[in-house]
C-alpha cells in the first residue's frame, strides 16, 4: 500500500535547540532533516518531505514570515500532501496556530508542534511530539478540523489552545473546552466532532498595527489616549474579569473607538467576556455603549490576530460577526 505523503517545515524553537558548547544556553541549531532522521517509526507511517524554513526562537517570528510559511504549506497540499506539519517554538504557538487557522482553507490538516525540552536534554519531548503530530496529520478523522496543536499526547484546536505553563511538559491546555483529542497507544482519538470554521482571504495589506494593552490596577491611560496618534489601526484590551476597565480607561476607550476598532477581551486566561451583566462605568455595557466590541471566549492574543487579519483584508466591518461566533 502506498504511504500517505506528509510535508514538514521546521521553523526553530526549543525542539531545534541545543547548546553549541557545554555550559552555554541552548539556541536553534538542529535542522528539520535531523529531527526527522531520528524518527525510525515515521518511515512506516508516511512518505515525508522536510524543509527547514527557519531556525528562529518563536518570539522572533512575524506575520510576513508566517505568510510565506503558509504559501509553502498551500503548495505542499497542491502537490498532493495528505497533511502538513510545522515545528516551531512554543512561546507563540497559541498565536501562530490562530493565524494559520483563519487562513487555512483545505480539508487536509495543518498540525503545529514543538517541544518544552531542548533537543540535547534528557527526556526531550520533541521527537515524541513530532511523531504524534505526524500520526494526527495522516488520520482520516483529522480532515476538516483546520489547524491543530499537538503537544504532550493531546490535540488542541487552534481557537482554544493556550500556553498556560512556562516550563512544564504539560504547558498547553484548552481552557473550558479541554483538548479536542488524544493520542492513545499511538492512535488518534477525537473526543468531539469538528466545529464550523471561519476562513479569511489572504491579507492584501500587512503594515497595519494592532496594539494589545492589559488593564492593570491604578494604570494611567496616557498610552491608550495616544494610540491613534501613534498610528495604530486597532487595539485589543485585556480587561479585568469579564472584560472591564477603570472609569478613566473607559473615557479613553470612547475617544479611541471613534476612530479605530477596540476589542475588549478578558485577561483572566479562561472564560468569556460578559455582554449584558454589568452597568458601571468601565463595565462591558458601558464599553459597548462607547463603541467597543467584546471578544467572547477569544483570548486577547487571538483577538489581536483576528483584528490584524480583518484589517489586512479590509473586512473589519465583520469584526462583530466574527466575535459573536465566539
Chain residues binding ligand ASP by CB under 6 A are 13-14, 57-58, 89-91, 114, 116
**CB-nearer residue toward ligand ASP: 14 or 152:** 14
The helices-and-strands tally (H runs, E runs) of the chain is: 10, 16
- Distance in angstroms between the alpha carbons of the first and the last residue of the chain: 42
Give least dist CB 89 to ligand ASP, A. Answer: 2
CB nearest ligand ASP: which residue?
A: 89
Cell of 165: 505553563
Which CB, 57 or 146, lies closer to ligand ASP? Answer: 57
DSSP code at position 4: P
Min. distance of Cβ 11 from ligand ASP in angstroms?
9
Residue 69 CB contacts under 8 Å (≥ 6 apart), including other chains: 9, 11, 53, 86
Closer residue to ligand ASP (CB): 57 or 282: 57
Rounded CA-CA distance 265/256 in Å is 16
CB of 113 to ligand ASP, least distance (A): 10
Least distance in Å: CB of 130 to ligand ASP? 13
* Alpha-carbon gap, residue 105 to 146, rounded angstroms: 8
**Please, which residue, 59 or 217, has the CB nearer to ligand ASP?**
59
Contact 163/175 with Cβ under 8 angstroms? Answer: no
Nearest CB to ligand ASP, comparing residues 114 and 300: 114
Cell of 18: 541545543
Shortest reach from residue 83's CB to ligand ASP, in Å: 22
Amino acid at each position: 500500500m502506498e504511504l500517505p505523503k506528509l510535508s514538514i517545515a521546521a521553523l526553530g524553537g526549543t525542539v531545534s535547540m541545543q547548546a553549541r558548547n557545554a555550559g552555554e544556553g541552548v539556541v536553534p541549531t538542529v535542522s528539520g532533516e535531523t529531527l526527522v532522521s531520528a524518527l525510525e517509526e515515521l518511515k512506516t507511517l508516511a512518505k515525508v518531505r522536510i524543509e527547514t524554513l527557519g531556525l528562529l526562537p518563536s518570539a522572533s517570528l512575524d506575520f510576513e514570515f508566517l505568510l510565506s510559511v503558509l504559501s509553502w504549506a498551500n503548495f505542499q497540499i497542491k502537490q498532493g500532501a495528505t497533511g502538513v506539519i510545522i515545528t516551531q517554538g512554543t512561546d507563540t504557538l497559541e498565536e501562530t496556530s490562530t493565524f494559520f487557522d483563519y487562513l487555512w482553507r483545505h480539508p487536509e490538516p495543518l498540525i503545529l508542534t514543538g517541544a518544552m525540552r531542548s533537543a540535547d536534554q534528557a527526556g526531550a519531548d520533541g521527537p515524541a511530539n513530532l511523531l504524534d503530530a505526524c500520526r494526527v496529520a495522516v488520520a482520516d478523522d483529522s480532515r476538516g478540523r483546520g489547524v491543530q496543536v499537538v503537544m504532550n499526547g493531546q490535540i488542541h484546536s487552534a481557537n482554544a489552545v493556550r500556553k498556560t505553563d512556562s516550563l512544564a511538559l504539560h504547558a498547553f491546555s484548552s481552557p473550558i473546552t479541554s483538548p479536542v483529542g488524544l493520542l492513545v497507544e499511538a492512535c488518534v482519538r477525537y473526543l468531539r466532532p469538528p466545529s464550523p470554521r471561519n476562513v479569511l482571504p489572504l491579507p492584501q495589506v500587512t503594515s497595519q498595527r494592532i496594539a494589545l494593552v492589559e488593564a492593570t490596577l491604578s494604570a494611567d491611560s496616557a498610552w491608550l489616549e495616544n494610540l491613534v496618534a501613534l498610528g495604530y489601526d486597532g487595539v485589543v484590551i485585556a480587561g479585568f474579569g469579564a472584560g472591564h476597565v477603570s472609569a478613566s480607561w473607559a473615557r479613553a476607550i470612547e475617544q479611541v473607538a471613534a476612530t479605530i476598532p477596540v476589542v475588549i477581551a478578558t485577561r483572566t486566561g479562561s472564560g468569556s467576556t460578559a455582554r449584558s451583566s454589568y452597568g458601571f462605568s468601565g463595565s462591558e455595557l458601558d464599553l459597548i455603549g462607547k463603541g467597543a466590541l467584546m471578544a467572547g471566549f477569544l483570548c486577547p492574543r487571538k483577538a489581536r490576530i483576528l483584528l490584524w487579519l480583518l484589517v489586512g483584508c479590509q473586512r473589519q466591518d465583520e469584526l462583530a460577526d466574527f466575535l459573536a461566533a465566539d
